[in-house]
């Protein structure tokens, strides 16, 4: 079993946060599911667990930021500028995984909003100057994440300027059945990942599915070897 981590989900009470909490806990990690209201988080965790014995706790966002080693941002784009400045202290230089898709909707469907910093993830990096920001999991369908009987069936494209942080998140992606973590380059490409979600959401609505995204012709052995090389040598899993 890979290293057990404590993972905080800020805004974890929505569909994306609940689904990720479940899958990360099933992968063996301890999860602090955060909310602006700790009582609401506790109620949502009780529903999510439904009697299952998994290490997920409902807490206030600052406690999730403080107690976790890896911090996921899973609130809406509008929340980022509200929440992050107050959490720069507890987040410090931790790995931050920005899952946010800054999308708007009009009568033609979803579209990418203009973000002054280029992307939601680059905005997070500007608001949390010490954090090791990674953007990932934009295309993982919450409906599939929430159902452990099903494969999530998507490649998780991961971008960051911090190789070790990227390596850690690639490993987390690989631990979710049906997901493959793919190194997709530097953080400046986050905008492309965030915007492509508008295409996927449109496909989902037209075809009534929960689509994912697959990179073709990407061999698994080489992909895993390259992903592992991003991790610090003393933090790599032993091979089989």
Ligand X SMILES: NC(=O)c1ccc[n+]([C@@H]2O[C@H](COP(=O)([O-])OP(=O)(O)OC[C@H]3O[C@@H](n4cnc5c(N)ncnc54)[C@H](OP(=O)(O)O)[C@@H]3O)[C@@H](O)[C@H]2O)c1
Q: Which of residues 138-197 bind ligand X (CB under 6 A)?
A: 138, 142
- Token pair listed for 98: 């920005």
Q: Which of residues 76-105 bind ligand X (CB under 6 A)?
A: 76-79, 82-83, 99-101
Question: Given the complex with ligand X, which of 87 and 170 has the nearer CB atom?
Answer: 87
109 - beta bridge partners?
A: 106
For residue 24, the tally of other CB atoms under 10 A from its CB is: 25
Question: Given the complex with ligand X, which of 79 and 90 has the nearer CB atom?
Answer: 79
Q: Is residue 230 within 8 Å of residue 158, measured between CB atoms?
A: no
Least distance in Å: CB of 185 to ligand X?
19
Which listed residue (7, 16, 157, 169) binds ligand X by CB under 6 A? 16
Least distance in Å: CB of 75 to ligand X?
3
SS3 of residue 7 by DSSP: strand
Q: What does the DSSP 8-state code read for residue 239?
A: P
Question: Beta strand 103-106 with 109-112: parallel, antiparallel or unpaired?
Answer: antiparallel
Q: Is residue 200 within 8 Å of residue 192, measured between CB atoms?
A: no
- Token pair listed for 190: 């986050």
Question: Given the complex with ligand X, which of 37 and 69 has the nearer CB atom?
Answer: 37
Phi, then psi, of 72 in degrees rounded to 5? -95, 140
Q: Closest CB to ligand X belongs to which residue? A: 14
Least distance in Å: CB of 92 to ligand X?
20
Least distance in Å: CB of 60 to ligand X?
9
Q: Given the rule CB under 6 A, which residues bind ligand X?
A: 11, 13-17, 35-37, 40, 74-79, 82-83, 99-101, 138, 142
């Amino acid at each position: 079993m890979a290293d057990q981590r404590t993972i905080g989900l800020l805004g974890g009470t929505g569909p994306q946060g609940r689904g990720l909490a479940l899958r990360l806990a099933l992968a063996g990690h301890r999860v602090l599911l955060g909310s602006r209201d700790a009582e609401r988080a506790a109620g949502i965790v009780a529903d999510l667990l439904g009697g299952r014995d998994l290490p997920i706790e409902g807490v206030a966002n600052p406690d999730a930021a403080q107690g976790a080693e890896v911090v996921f941002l899973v609130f809406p784009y509008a929340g980022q500028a509200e929440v992050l400045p107050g959490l720069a202290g507890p987040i410090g230089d931790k790995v931050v995984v920005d899952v946010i898709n800054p999308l708007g909707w009009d009568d033609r469907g979803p579209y990418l909003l203009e973000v002054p910093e280029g992307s939601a993830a680059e905005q997070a990096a500007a608001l949390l100057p010490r954090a090791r920001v990674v953007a990932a999991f934009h295309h993982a369908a919450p409906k599939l994440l929430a159902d452990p009987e099903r494969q999530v069936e998507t490649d998780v494209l991961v971008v960051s300027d911090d190789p070790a942080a990227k390596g850690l998140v690639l490993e987390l992606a690989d631990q979710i059945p049906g997901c493959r973590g793919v190194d997709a380059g530097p953080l400046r490409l986050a905008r492309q990942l965030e915007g492509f979600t508008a295409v996927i959401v449109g496909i989902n609505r037209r075809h009534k599915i929960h689509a994912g995204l697959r990179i073709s012709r990407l061999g698994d052995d080489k992909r895993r070897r390259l992903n592992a090389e991003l991790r610090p040598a003393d933090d790599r899993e032993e091979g089989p």
